[in-house]
Structure 1
Amino acid sequence: MKNKIAFIALFFFMTTASFSQSISSSPYSLYGLGSLYDSDFGSIPSIGSSGIALPSNRFINNLNPASLGFMYQNHFLFDVGGKAIQSSYENISTKENRNNVQFSHIAFASPVTERSAFSIALKPYSSTTFKISNLTLPILDSQENYVLSATGTGGLNNLDLSYGYRIGKKLALGISTSLLFGNTIDDRSYTISNSVTNIYKKTNYSGVRASLGAQLKLDSTFTLGMNLKSPTKINATKVQSVSSVNNSGTTTIESELASDTDDYFIPLEIGIGVSKVFKNNLNVTLDYGKGLWNSTNQSDLYGNFINQDKMALGFSYSKSKNIRSYFDRIQYATGFNYDTGYLEVDNKRINSMAISVGVSLPIENTFSALNITYSYGQKGRISDGLIKENYHKLSLNLCLDGIWFVKRKFE
């Protein structure tokens, strides 16, 4: 059976990895580093992406490195995930549908001592995938217009290294280091009368970000959690080519010219969470997060960065422990989250909200489980210059638990 599980994990990883280049196709990925990616592990997508106060005793919790301090000894956790998304984009005059499959994450966690554990995870951080076709815009201080066509691809990856340590039986502290790297490609053409200017720009990004976390178990049913993500600078360099096409032919203005460009700043982010278990069956999680984007003192060509507020609420239910029936061991979950967003376009926030339902299907008599989540969400609004995005998302996370260095009771 264990060989079958390993085969399923390998097949699942190969399948999702083959789609790793097909990430977000949101028009809002035009801004900044692109659309920020929600790579939640285990059953976290089912509970509205909440869980800052959940310990990592049965799954890897990517929301708080301190959760690793409560990981069981001799248990080694592996988590891999993917998503299928059906999206629709609508403005005042048009509507468009798109489908894509996305790689979500691959992660591994292992105990170090009886009180500590570490994890390593690879996941997307942001995605840039947009297309603008024949958009007519006015020329400033002129009666003329120009026509813009543009495509964007790429994004950043996040290699995350985390360590958690438990002090006594109730308090755990954690630290995480995120290595951010990747590139974006922006290919644009500007048409004025009979002249077309083409600008091809590839921007490379790299940076390091540290995070701190804490979890406090007040009793066996009530846990508090906190995380703190440090502000950081993402270094940027670009390679740009510029050419002009008119009645006289093609003129190369720049050819793969390397130069520095404006660095990107990620702000201080603070999150707090609570987890409460009622009658050993119902677990309620509630998180609140704040992103201080105003303090970065940066702006986008098409909008402004503003402070961000996020709220997530989740409910999960499972029957009492030591249930022999397989169906009685299934966990059911639902959740809701709301995000004010960190962008303001034409004095309007780009906010989002989503609801989710899911199940956690156990595999064998271990912590291994297949987590299936359905989510419906909205982002943006229908108004002049803005687009409303609606999506249906199916998330699959496979969590495998291996028990090592334990002597067999029977040979």
Structure 2
Amino acid sequence: MMNYKNKKLIVEPDGNGLYGIYGGEAENPELRSAMNKIRDAFHNIIKDVKFHDEMIELKRFYIGRPSPLYFAKRLSEHAGGAKIFLKREDLNHTGAHKINHCIGEVLLAKKMGKKKVLAETGAGQHGVALATVCALMGIECEIHMGQVDIEKEKPNVNKMKVLGCNVIPVTAGSATLKEAVDSAFNSYVTDLKNNFYAIGSVVGPAPFPEIVQYFQSIVGQEAKQQFSELTNTLPSAVVACVGGGSNSMGIFNSFLSDHEVQLIGVEPSGKGLQTDKHAATLTKGKFGSLHGFKCLYLQDENGNPSDTYSIASGLDYPGVGPQHCYLRDIGRVEYHTITDDECLDAFFSLSRKEGIIPALESAHAVAWAIKNARKLGNDKSIIVNLSGRGDKDVDFVLSKTAS
């Protein structure tokens, strides 16, 4: 394990897109060339004052930033320990953190002269956010979504259709997020000149982990400033759910060098780690290459990506962003798991104690906070990244919990 303590910790890729041994460039030469053009355009655009001015205006007047940092008093009393604060990304336009990087990616696509933006989606939050921004900026949008997730997340599917997006059902394999990524990539490479792949998390070949982390870092920047203004201190812990890892990298990024702050990533253990019904990549995964980048991912006996499961569609992915793999290896972030049952308990606890219905993805992080608040103690504080709202999940949850 590397000794990172007492040092400024910045997680960024080397010239080959690697974070330690994780990440990297696409192996296919044609695809790598296309990715390099995106990387060059990204590095140029983030130096452009006009681009920054446009982003500031859209964040303020379109997304509704800054999102509030809310002290959940009744939830904290229910947990009986540390004070729980919620970073309210659920209040963003489209209801989740995903729009933060979607605006950046679509602006980048427009600057590059692309004609169509493609992506995958699991829970549908990335798909809705991308379809929203494409409608705003007048560019064609195509979203690939597993048939299982389409049936679970009908409200988001209908929103994408209303926004003018072409939703492509994916029925191969387990018909969930992994297969949606495969399908979207296959469509993307048919026309690299005119298509732009807007990856929905800190995954995929370089430069996408770097791009998504950059645009999501606003979450941590705001949360750190807001908490300091409220308490004149740093939080004891910052907690976020981890699927691919975009919302968690977004909030962790600003606290990486604050070594007194415990950083907790929460994965889905689904029906239990002793079963094959989970998606706990960092807990049970092995090193290898997946979707054009090196990471830890869940593998079957032949080294292929294994089927995964989570009650939360947005966490149902066999791999994870290379930054998370690196941060796990050096010990800066701890990764824990929450079961479906614990997630559902937290979903109802937050809804009934604070009047805030969380996304099932975010409810995993809420569950960890409730479970560990007493252990931390009354003098401690936890920031939970409430990465999305649960409108999309209500019908599904009620169908699962009906007696």
TM category (shorter chain) comes to under 0.3
TM-score for both structures, normalised by structure 1 = 0.21
Structure showing greater relative contact order (alpha-carbon pairs closer than 8 Å, 6 or more residues apart): 2
More strand by share: 1
More helix by share: 2
